[in-house]
Amino acid sequence: MLTIRLFVLQRVTALIMAPLVLGHLALMIYTIREGLSTGAILARTQASWFWALFYGTFVVAVSVHAAIGVRVIIGEALRVRGVVLDLLCLAFGAVLLFAGLRAVLSVTML
């Protein structure tokens, strides 16, 4: 039952990430075409709840999605099972979440 729930959760996070990736790519294309400097980009993102929510959602979805994917890879390649596998992947997802949210906060400085 856990495997099915994780499968569904990974597909849901992929659905969440798809428009966010497209939005991020569109934003990168815009900043390159406009020739915006790092300072100009940071000036636009600081104290912005929109960008904090946008990239915060992205970070949460990626953290969950990647942790589930790594769980499958470790389980198949290294034959790790049970609680050890769960704890490894939970720790991996937590590290991604912490690092990602820290980056979002440093750029948006809320």
The pLDDT, as a whole number, for residue 110 is: 62
Distance from C-alpha of 16 to C-alpha of 61, rounded to nearest angstrom: 7
CATH number of the domain at 2-108, out of 3.30.1420, 1.20.1630, 1.20.1300, 1.10.3470? 1.20.1300
Distance from C-alpha of 49 to C-alpha of 110, rounded to nearest angstrom: 8
Taking the chain (110 residues) in consecutive chunks of 10 residues, what is each chunk's mean pLDDT? 94 98 96 92 91 97 98 94 95 98 91
Instruction: Please state the separation of Cα 83 from the chain's center in Å.
Output: 24
